[in-house]
Amino acid sequence: MATGIKDKVAIIGMGCTRFGERWDMGAEELMVEAFEECLADAGLEKQAIEAAWFGICFEEGSVGKSGLPLSTTLRLPFIPVTRVENYCATGTEAFRGACYAVASGAYDICLALGVEKLKDTGYGGLPSFTGSNAGSLTWQWFPNLTAPGAFAQLAGAYAAKHRIKDADLKRAMAHVSAKSHANGVLNPKAHLRKAVTEEQVMAAPIIAHPLGLFDCCGVSDGAACAIVTTPEIAKQMGRGEIVSVKALQLALSSGEEMGYGDWDGDHFATTRICSKKAYDEAGITDPREEISMMEVHDCFSITELVTMEDLHISEPGRAVHDIMDGVFDRDGIVPCQVDGGLKCFGHPIGASGLRMIYEMYLQLLGRAGERQIENPRFGLTHNLGGFPSMNVCSIAILGRYGE
């Protein structure tokens, strides 16, 4: 019988570059920057790594296909390297591969690394998925669709479903963005480190109503990585507090959201399902009380708002009120985006999931500096890739081993 991954895998090292417009570096240099921090944190020689997983989404714009760019750039010792891609969940997917390899007993020590070089593509946002190589996902399901347009529709559907006034929704979204900017100021590796007020957010130019400029995350260059092993090996290495994986879950749309009338466009079906499985795997019965902090996929402020309900932290229709009550502020009941989130830390797609795990890792070890949360127990990370109507959802829960 399957028993899940709880406490079968320990993180013994992590690294993350500064995210931003890294014109001075290519993807390879970013990979080296994250890996060197990770290796030093783990206290290992790279010859100890037995297998690696490499996450990158827009490979032609970064380093090319296959696992070779990771192996050759880091001069890994002729080990297996698997390249993975799963939209914005790519970094967590690399982490999942490394963790499953250790949990299975196939390897003792594995590496997961994600990277993306987006600022050199020539696009203001993400590169287009349209064109001859886009595949059926675009031409069959998403013709003429933009990300701001799709998530603006999510906002409209959510407001209509719960009868929320436009002004109240926009104010809550503004609080989401202002909160992330305030957190980003405290993070030396964040892309955006300037505080903004709710009034500035609400007065910004509209991108796709009701989403304004400050409701949208930008794109960044960056890399992040993790080295994982078993808790037993971590103990043998002399580790005191050990950060272990409590749950890893992945849910992909089946297409039924758009194919049937049951989905009304106001939520993410994948997140609702994925989060329940993750809580069961981690042994969490009351996430609002037991989850100490979260990093969620705030590609837009409305996404973070809706996700609070899909993660079963807020009751349906109540996220607007919880946000304005400060529940998700850095000093709130369940702090969210304590490192600035996608909004301010940045969003190099292949690295984002691992960046979220990096923050949870630092927080659990008490190494988060000015943004440190008092005595965190469980940290949750959440990625979405795609659009509200068809997407990939990945959730990881971390905690201290044995707790």
Closest C-alpha to 248, from 46, 115, 340, 112? 112
Domain 147-214+244-400 architecture: 3-Layer(aba) Sandwich (3.40)
Specify the pTM. 0.95
CATH topology agreement for domains 10-120+221-243 and 147-214+244-400: yes
Measured CA to CA, the distance from residue 94 to residue 286 in angstroms comes to 28
The confidence score (pLDDT) of residue 60 equals: 67
From the list 267, 297, 312, 347, the catalytic residue is 347
From the list 16, 38, 57, 88, the catalytic residue is 88
The confidence score (pLDDT) of residue 122 equals: 63
The domain ranges of the chain are 10-120+221-243, 147-214+244-400
Measured CA to CA, the distance from residue 339 to residue 160 in angstroms comes to 32
Could you read off the pLDDT tens digit of each residue along the chain, which spans 403 residues?
788 999 999 999 999 999 999 999 999 999 999 999 999 999 999 999 999 999 999 876 678 889 999 999 999 999 999 999 999 999 999 999 999 999 999 999 999 999 999 888 665 666 655 444 444 455 455 556 788 999 999 999 999 999 999 999 999 999 999 999 999 999 999 999 999 999 999 999 999 999 999 999 988 999 999 999 999 999 999 998 999 999 999 999 998 888 888 899 999 999 999 999 999 999 999 999 999 999 999 999 999 999 999 999 999 999 999 999 999 999 999 999 999 999 999 999 999 999 999 999 999 999 999 999 999 999 999 999 999 989 999 999 999 998 8
347 is catalytic: yes
Domain 10-120+221-243 architecture: 3-Layer(aba) Sandwich (3.40)
The confidence score (pLDDT) of residue 260 equals: 81
The confidence score (pLDDT) of residue 124 equals: 60
88 is catalytic: yes
The confidence score (pLDDT) of residue 143 equals: 56
